[in-house]
Amino acid sequence: MATNENKSTLVHDAIALFIITLVAGVLLGAVYMITKDPIAEAEEKATNEAYAAVYKDAEFASDDTLTKAVESFAKDVTEGKADDDAYSYTDVEFIEARTASSGGSQTGYVVKVSGKGYGGAVTIALGITNEGEILGIQILDASNETPGLGQNSTKTDWNGQYVGMTADKTLSVVKDGSGSSDNGTINSISGATITSNAVTRAVNVALKFVAGQQ
Report pLDDT digits (tens) over 99-120.
999 999 999 999 999 999 999 9
Residue 41 lies in a domain: no
Angle at 115 between CA 60 and CA 65, to 5 degrees: 35
Q: Which of 93, 97, 148 is nearest to 120 (CA)?
A: 93
Is 48 a member of any domain? Answer: no
What average pLDDT is seen over the chain?
Answer: 90
69 is a domain residue: yes
> Per-residue pLDDT for 1 more than 60?
no
Please give the single-letter amino acid code of residue 74. Answer: A
Q: How far apart are the first and last CA of the chain?
A: 77
Which carries the bigger pLDDT value, residue 183 or residue 33? 183
Q: What is the pLDDT of residue 212?
A: 94
Residue 20 lies in a domain: no
Contacting residues for 161 by C-beta, under 8 A, at least 6 apart: 179, 181, 186, 187
- 46 inside domain: no
Please indicate, yes or no, if residue 138 is contained in any of the structural domains: yes
- Supply the pLDDT for residue 21: 84
User: 66: Cβ–Cβ under 8 A, 6 or more apart, which residues?
Assistant: 97, 98, 99
**For residues 12 and 4, what is the distance between their CA atoms, to the nearest angstrom?**
12
When mean pLDDT is compared across 5-9, 166-170, 189-193, 196-200, the lowest value belongs to 5-9
Distance CA 77, CA 207 (A): 12
Residue 120, burial from CB neighbour count under 10 angstroms (0-12, 13-18, 19+): middle
Burial of 110: CB neighbours in 10 Å, binned 0-12, 13-18, 19+: buried
Whether 47 is covered by a domain: the verdict is no
Could you tell me if residue 150 is inside a domain?
Answer: yes
pLDDT at 35 over 70: no
Report the number of distinct structural domains present in the chain.
Answer: 1
Mean pLDDT in residue range 82-91: 96
Judged by DSSP in three states, 147 sits in: coil
Q: Classify the C-alpha dihedral 36-42-162-70 as positive or negative.
A: positive
Relative to beta strand 105-116, strand 121-129 is: antiparallel
* pLDDT value at residue 2: 52
Q: What secondary structure does DSSP assign to 19-75, as a single string?
A: HHHHHHHHHHHHHHHHHHHHHHHHHHHHHHHHHHHHSTT-EEE--HHHHHHHHHHHH
Torsional sign, CA 120, 155, 95, 84: negative
pTM: 0.81
- What is the share, in percent, of the chain residues with pLDDT greater than 70? 90
Expressed as residue numbers, the domain containing 187 is 55-211
